């Protein structure tokens, strides 16, 4: 069994914020893979259970607000009798370019308050799926950036990213989570630019393409 956690803030006022991309990703996985309806549980969150590949998965969205995520995740993890290496956390990342995805196990929290809370409660040895939202360029602008909604332009990369994450989700609970990141990278890669009409193919004979 695995615990799949999306990080975000509860309530409609936060639903479209950049900080809530973890909630968005888990919602998309739950919908695509036919998980049960979200239900409120006693661990300060919403839970949904389903199957990814051969594995049973409990999806979870803490309702404690971002800064207290660890207490909710830790309580549910211990009730399920899981170790941190069977907890996957999907979260926003300021240090990645918008639309980029990286996976890792353990490590620092990078100043992310949700991860800081998790580290304090369950330790750092859980899996992370980092979803880039970009940095506003000034530390003083960070709070406003993460608590603002994605723009219409950002939706152009956000929607394909969420759809691809949900498509590749079964790889998240495989022995090699890097396969998940690789598949997402391939499926979200922009198509190659077409060659200019007057370009000469490499295999063309000498003089080809010239009048």
Asked if the structure places residue 200 within a domain, the reply is no
Q: Is 210 a catalytic residue?
A: no
Q: What is the pLDDT of residue 106?
A: 87
Asked if the structure places residue 87 within a domain, the reply is yes
Asked if the structure places residue 42 within a domain, the reply is yes
Please tell me whether residue 2 adopts helix, strand or coil conformation: strand
Asked if the structure places residue 211 within a domain, the reply is no
Single pTM value for the model: 0.88
* Angle subtended by helix axes 21-32 and 152-167, to nearest 10: 40
Range of the domain at 174: 2-188
Distances from the Cα of 111 to the Cα of 67, 89, 93, 107, angstroms: 11, 16, 10, 12
Q: What sign does the dihedral 115-116-120-121 (CA atoms) show?
A: negative
Residues 6+ apart with CB under 8 A from 119: 70, 109
Look at the chain and report how many structural domains it folds into.
1
Q: How far apart are CA 167 and CA 161, in angstroms?
A: 10
CATH (domain of 121)? 3.40.50.1470
Residues 6+ apart with CB under 8 A from 27: 6
Q: How many CB atoms lie within 10 A of CB 132?
A: 19
Asked if the structure places residue 167 within a domain, the reply is yes
Asked if the structure places residue 199 within a domain, the reply is no
Q: What is the pLDDT of residue 110?
A: 84
- The residue annotated as part of the active site, out of 19, 33, 86, 112, is 19
- List the structure tokens of 32: 């695509």
pLDDT tens digit at each of 211 positions of the chain: 999 999 999 999 999 999 999 999 999 999 999 999 999 999 999 999 999 999 999 999 999 999 999 999 999 999 999 999 999 999 999 999 999 999 998 888 888 999 999 999 999 999 999 999 999 999 999 999 999 999 999 999 999 999 999 999 999 988 677 888 888 888 887 656 666 666 555 555 555 544 4
Answer for the pair 9, 18: CB distance below 8 angstroms, yes or no. no
Asked if the structure places residue 208 within a domain, the reply is no
Asked if the structure places residue 206 within a domain, the reply is no
């Amino acid at each position: 069994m695995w615990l799949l956690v999306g990080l975000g803030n509860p309530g409609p006022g936060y639903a479209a914020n950049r900080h809530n991309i973890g909630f968005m990703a888990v919602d998309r996985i739950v919908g695509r893979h036919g998980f049960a309806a979200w239900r409120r549980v006693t661990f300060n969150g919403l839970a949904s259970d389903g199957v990814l590949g051969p594995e049973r998965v409990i999806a979870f969205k803490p309702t404690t607000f971002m800064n207290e995520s660890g207490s909710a995740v830790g309580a549910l993890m211990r009730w399920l009798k899981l170790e941190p290496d069977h907890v996957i956390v999907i979260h926003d990342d300021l240090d990645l370019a918008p639309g980029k995805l990286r996976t890792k196990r353990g490590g620092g929290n990078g100043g992310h308050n949700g991860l800081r809370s998790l580290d304090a409660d369950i330790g750092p040895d859980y899996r992370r799926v980092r979803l880039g939202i970009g940095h506003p360029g000034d530390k003083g602008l960070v709070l406003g950036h993460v608590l603002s909604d994605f723009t219409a332009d950002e939706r152009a990369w956000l929607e394909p990213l969420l759809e691809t994450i949900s498509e590749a989700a079964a790889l998240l609970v495989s022995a090699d989570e890097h396969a998940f990141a690789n598949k997402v990278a391939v499926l979200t890669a922009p198509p190659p630019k077409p060659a200019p009409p007057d370009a000469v193919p490499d295999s063309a004979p000498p003089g080809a393409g010239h009048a």
